[in-house]
Structures are given as C-alpha cells and as structure tokens.
Structure 1
Amino acid sequence: MLHLLNHSVLNHKEKPSTGNLRILFLGDSITADGRYISLVREGLSRHRSELAVELLACGVPSETVSGLSEAAHPFPRPCVHDRLAGELAAASPDVAVACYGMNDGIYHPFSEARFAAYQSGMKRLSTLIREAGAAAVLLTPPPFHAASMDGPLQPAEAADFSYLAPYRDYDRVLERYADWLISGGCPADGVIDIRTPLLEHIRHERLLHASYRYGDGIHPDLSGHRIMAQVLLRELFRQDPDGLREQPCS
C-alpha cells in the first residue's frame, strides 16, 4: 500500500520550502467531525514527532462528490466540486485524502445512474487533485450500520428514502461503491480500505456487547474514528497505531 514516508507518491511535486508535508482531508460530515484526523495528528505527535506533517481538515457536512441529493433533505446537498479548486489553491497540499460515498447513494437502493454519478465525481476529483500537483488518496466509504439507526428502515419498494429514513440494506450499496474503488476503477495514487476494518470492529464490539451502537449508523462513534485513524497511520506512515486504542481524542 501507499506509504508517504517513501515519498514515491510525491515525486511529481517538490517538497515545500518549509519541509512540511501538507495533507488536505476532504469529505462529508464524517470528515467534518474531525476526530479521526485529530487522532492521526495525536498518533504522529506521540510516536513520530520527528516528522514535519501538517494535517488540514476540510470536511463539509452533507457533502457529496456526485452532486446528488434526496428530495427529503432540508437543502440541496453541497458538492465538493463547487469548492475543490479553491480548497486546493488555498492549501497547496502535497497529498489530498478524500472520503466520499456515504451520501452519494442518497440512502436509496442501488441505481446504475447514481453509481455512475459517484464514479464520475470520484474520477474528476482524483484527476483535479493530481493536476493541482498533489497525490490523490481515496478512502472507501465507511459502512452503514442499520442496527444502530434510531429512525425507520425502509424496504426497497418504499416510495422514497433519505438519511432519516434510509433503505434498510443501504450498506450493500456502499459495498459496491467500495469494491469499485478497491478494484482500481479510479485514477488515484492510493486507495485505502477503511470499510473492512470498521466492519470487523463493529462485529467484534457487538460480540462483546450486544447493545453496542456504531454511532447513529451513519456517523461513527469515537471508537470508529479511532479505527479510521489506526488504518491511516499504518497505511500512510507505517506507524504501529496500537497506542491509540485506549487514548482519548484531543
């Protein structure tokens, strides 16, 4: 997998004069929450303090990469492509890490048209990041955990769907999106699978505690953010992340 310490993905861009490696994080409300980014920062500070790394958190709640929005959403969902050029120009990152997909299926059953919009948006995102001189690192969509939802879960034949009343098997939609990324369908410098470790975490926790809730089913709880941080520390920095397991988020 991609390791930034090898600097192989940065060969197309000179290091900034400050010597800092600037990493821009793009995504929806899971990224806007910021806890997994804070935990990565904490892990680097504790275990790799010699590294000059700047983490720039730029997630936007409700955002998509596809430009889609469900009818019941209180406002049209923002699309990253409406701000991407400005974010890249302002940050001048060496690496951009992007996590999209949760909102892009708009909580409906699978549709080829919605899938095509997600694919097109991710390809454009990756291409524009690379054209800006940064390495594009894509994260698979996190899982949707129906058993943690408080609201209604709807069958495929329901009249409509939204984040408040999602398709009950919506995670199968996200699985297809993740499989496409992992298969190399998008021109990126690296793809990191966060979905599989999160699913394993959920299964483990529910075996230990049947009442365990993965946040609200859409947004991970702190333990989910910790898993995401562990994966990023390992895949990007070759850092053994075990020290994060019992540490609070700063």
Structure 2
Amino acid sequence: MMMKRRQFINRTALAIAGTSLMGCFDHSKFQLKKNQVVGCFGDSITFARGNGYVEMLQEKFNKEKPELNITFINFGKSSETVSGLTEEDHPGPRPYLFERLDDVLDKNKIDVALFCYGINDGIYGKPSEELFRSFKIGVYSFLEKMRQRNIPAILLTPPPLAEVVVRANEGMSYSYKNPYPKYDIEVLQEFTNIILDMHHPFANAEINIRQPLFKSQKECYGKDPIHPNKNGHRLIADTIFGNLSF
C-alpha cells in the first residue's frame, strides 16, 4: 500500500511539460567541458558508500581524460525517492530529494547534474497510473529546479531489480524486503520509458543503464537484487563514459 509524503512537488510540472517544454531536442552525446563539476544525485546505488559508479567515473576521467579536469561530487542518499512515496514496511518515511535539493544546490556550485532514481520510487509494489504519474512529476520537478539554476542534466534510467535473485514471499506486503515479482518488468521498465521519452530543455541526455545491467545480471549482482556489485558499478560507469563526447 502506498503512503504519500508531504506534497512539495511542483504541481504545475506536468502542465508545463505539455506546453513550453516541448520542442526540438538534440539527442547527440552530451559534451562535458573543461573544469566542470558534475553533481550526482540518486539513492543508495549512487551513494554506494563512496565506492561506486560515481567514484569509478572520477577515476576513469582522471586516467583517460585528465586534461578536462572534471570533478564528480556524490550527492547520493540511501532510500531516497523523487516520487515522495514510502511502502508500509519501510522503517519510517523514505528520504525525499526535494526536501534537501535547494540546500545542496545553494551550498555547492555545480555545472552539470547527473540524475539516477527509480529503483525505490515504485516502492517495490504493483504498477499503477498514480505511481507512474508520481515518478514523472518527480523527474519534471527535478528538471525544473535545474532550469531555474541553468544547470543542464543527464538522466540515467533506473537500474533493474535483478530477477535472478528476487524471491517474493506470499502473504507479506510488498517492500524492499519483499518486492513484487514483476516489479522490474512492470514498474522499472515503465520508469525507464519515462526517462528515455523525456522532453525537457534541461534533459540534455538520457542514458540507458538498465539495458546493459539487465543483460549481465549474473555478473553484476550477488545475493542483493537491488544493489549492483563492483562489476555492476563498473558497467554503469563505462556506460555513462561511453555516452558522453569530449
């Protein structure tokens, strides 16, 4: 069962999306410029205890493109969502990006935002139009924040929920401990479609990390179906790097 959080979301986001946000979009690779700072926003997959794809991207740029002097800052927060939803079996309300986003942006000057949410946003339950709308509004609201501060954004699709290790227990409510068995294909795939179909002038690139992770589940996940292992984080970093131009 969904439990809605406080309503901080920009209620006009979808209305704006249908009008002024539509237009011509360049889907070529996003180009990072010398000395830029990239702020990386996401949940525990981004946070990764400071040892995940964000840090691997930093290492990769330092090694392969040192002349660019790109800095990646990890703003990931465990359990966080942009949908503002929390499942019943979660220990307290999930952190909600929009309760901290302004403060982070006020205190940190960034040139580009990297966005990776979705795995928690469906709260591991069944699909619904309300659920998809909540996620879509969350993504639009993030992009509107970036528009206000003139920060271009790179959107990553949600990673998959690894089907090779998902085991649902009948009779229990769905949660991160007990995901709906079709959560990946019925919820996360639709979240992926939302990201890839995004039309907003500050969505400067959409990168599909779900597809390569899904194809390499056995190598990229251990017993935890939510969090990729080191191989998975390396694949995410390589996928992002390969979808940028220099």
The verdict on a shared fold, with TM-score over 0.5 as the criterion, is yes
CA distance 1:186–1:159, shift in 2 (3 Å)? farther
Pick the aligned partner of 1:78 from 56, 74, 95. Answer: 95
Q: Is the 8 A contact 2:161 2:226 kept in 1?
A: yes
Pick the aligned partner of 1:109 from 116, 120, 126. Answer: 126
Matched, 1:165 2:173: no
Give TM-score scaled by structure 1 length. Answer: 0.80
**CA displacement at 1:129 relative to structure 2:** 1.4
**CA displacement at 1:233 relative to structure 2:** 1.1
The amino acid of 2:176's aligned partner reads Y
Pick the aligned partner of 1:4 from 31, 40, 46. Answer: 31
Pick the aligned partner of 2:241 from 230, 233, 243. Answer: 233
- Per the alignment, residue 189 of structure 1 pairs with 204
Pick the aligned partner of 1:177 from 185, 188, 191. Answer: 191
- Per the alignment, residue 52 of structure 1 pairs with 69
The amino acid of 1:4's aligned partner reads Q
Identity fraction in percent: 36
The amino acid of 2:244's aligned partner reads L
Runs of 5+ in structure 1 lacking a partner? 8-18, 206-211, 239-250
Instruction: Summarize deviations over 1:227-249 as a string: whole Å, max 9, x none.
Output: 000011111245xxxxxxxxxxx
- Per the alignment, residue 220 of structure 1 pairs with 228
| Structure-2 separation of matches of 1:154 and 1:116 | 28
- Per the alignment, residue 43 of structure 2 pairs with 28
Q: Is the 8 A contact 1:71 1:162 kept in 2?
A: yes
- Per the alignment, residue 94 of structure 1 pairs with 111
Runs of 5+ in structure 2 lacking a partner? 1-27
Partner secondary structure for residue 217 of structure 2: helix
**CA displacement at 1:29 relative to structure 2:** 0.3
Partner secondary structure for residue 224 of structure 2: coil
Q: What is the aligned length?
A: 215
The amino acid of 1:3's aligned partner reads F
The amino acid of 1:164's aligned partner reads K
The amino acid of 2:128's aligned partner reads S
Give TM-score scaled by structure 2 length. Answer: 0.82
